[in-house]
């Protein structure tokens, strides 16, 4: 019963956010001016170093693991196909989503849960502010604007990792590597990667907001809610990725 209540609360918040975002886009009210830019800085600028580092390392690791196998069959050049498709369609969206869950989701939950414990959410309500709009809409808009930039960056460094290994391990010239990548990866694959990551980003923001808004006890629960939000966000990302895999294949 409790789990059913939680699911209901999550979807209620999710639908509220769709409604508030739609209203805000029609009429710019109920959100602090400049909040979207502030959130873009917090989400995008502060996340890009870790996202680029992780995707680069994933690119290198997958390439190293695959290169050894491909060399056995004399299929060295297919490393570019493998890395191109795997990184752009699957690994970059997944790794970016997971990094967002840890970096962005945790901070959203910690901030909102602390605000709730400190009565700041109630204070907002008594000022006639809708906290679910005031706090969440700038974050949803910011993540929507930041994701394409983060994905492009992650795609570039992920492929660079693969290209580096291809050059050093299999002697594939970078130009040949890129040519092969662009032969197998189309614009639709690239857009799919962005689309998937955007959905993961929304899931992270709404999931983290849900964990922050529905904190039930005092300050001691802020830490628990924060870790729970990371777990929930990652579970949502993997679940959604699975749905994408079923639908798109």
Partner 1 sequence: MEIIRVRGLSVGYGETPVLENLDFDILSGRVTVIVGESGSGKSTLLKTLIGLLPPLAGAVVLDGRPIDFNSEEDLRNLYARIGVLFQNSALLNSLSLYENIALPLRIHRPDQAPAEEAKRVAEMLGRVGLQGSENKFPYELSGGMRKRAAVARAMVLDPEIFFCDEPSAGLDPITATGLDSLLKGLCRAHGMTFVVVTHELRSIERIADRILLLRDGGVRFHGGPGDLDKTKDPYVKAFFLRTANHDH
| 3-class DSSP string for the chain | CHHHHHHHHHHHHHHHHHHHHHHHHHCCCCCCCCHHHHHHHHHHHCCHHHHHHHHHHHHHHHHHHHHHHHHHCCCCCHHHHHHHHHHHHHHHHHHHHHHHHHHHHHHHHHHHHHHHHCCHHHHHHHCCCCHHHHCCHHHHHHHHHHHHHHHHHHHHHHHHHHHHHHHHHHCCCHHHHHHHHHHHCCHHHHHHHHHHHHHHHHHHHHHHHHHHHCCCCCCHHHHHHHHHHHHHHHHHHHHHHHHHHHHHC
Check residue 30 for interaction with partner 1 (CB under 8 A): yes
The distance of closest approach from Cβ of residue 104 to partner 1 in the complex, given in angstroms and rounded to an integer, is 15
Site for partner 1 in 92-151 (CB under 8 A): 111, 115, 118-120, 122-129
Task: Please report how close the Cβ of residue 21 comes to partner 1 at its closest, in angstroms.
Answer: 17
* Number of residues located near partner 1, criterion CB under 8 A: 17
Residue 42 or 94: the one with the smaller Cβ distance to partner 1 is 42
Residue 34 or residue 74: which is nearer to partner 1 going by CB?
34
Instruction: Considering the complex, state which of residue 71 and residue 217 has its C-beta at the smaller distance from partner 1.
Output: 217
Of the residues 2, 3, 33, 73, which one makes contact with partner 1 according to CB under 8 A: 33
Closer of 30 and 195 to partner 1 (Cβ): 30
Smaller CB separation from partner 1, 108 or 234: 108
> For partner 1, which residue of 32, 191, 219, 245 counts as binding (CB under 8 A)?
32
Site residues for partner 1 per CB under 8 A: 29-30, 32-33, 111, 115, 118-120, 122-129
């Amino acid at each position: 019963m409790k789990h059913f209540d939680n699911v209901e609360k999550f979807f209620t918040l999710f639908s509220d956010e769709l409604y508030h975002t739609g209203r805000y886009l029609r009429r710019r009210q109920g959100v602090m001016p400049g909040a979207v830019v502030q959130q873009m800085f917090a989400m995008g600028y502060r996340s890009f170093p870790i996202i680029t580092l992780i995707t680069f390392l994933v690119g290198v690791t997958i390439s190293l693991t695959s290169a050894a196998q491909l060399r056995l069959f004399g299929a060295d050049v297919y490393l570019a196909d493998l890395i191109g498709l795997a990184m752009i369609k699957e690994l970059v969206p997944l790794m970016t989503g997971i990094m967002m869950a840890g970096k962005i989701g945790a901070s959203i939950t910690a901030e909102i849960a602390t605000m709730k414990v400190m009565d700041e959410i109630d204070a907002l309500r008594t000022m006639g502010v809708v906290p679910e709009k005031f706090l969440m809409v700038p974050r949803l808009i910011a993540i929507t604007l930041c994701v394409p930039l983060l994905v492009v960056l992650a795609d570039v460094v992920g492929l660079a990792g693969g290209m580096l290994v291809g050059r050093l391990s299999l002697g594939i010239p970078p130009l040949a590597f890129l040519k092969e990548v662009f032969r197998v990866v189309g614009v639709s694959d690239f857009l799919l990667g962005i689309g998937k990551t955007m959905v993961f980003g929304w899931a992270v923001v709404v999931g983290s907001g849900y964990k922050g808004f529905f904190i039930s006890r005092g300050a001691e629960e802020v830490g628990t809610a924060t870790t729970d939000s990371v777990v929930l966000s990652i579970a949502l990302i993997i679940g959604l990725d699975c749905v994408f895999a079923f639908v798109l294949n």
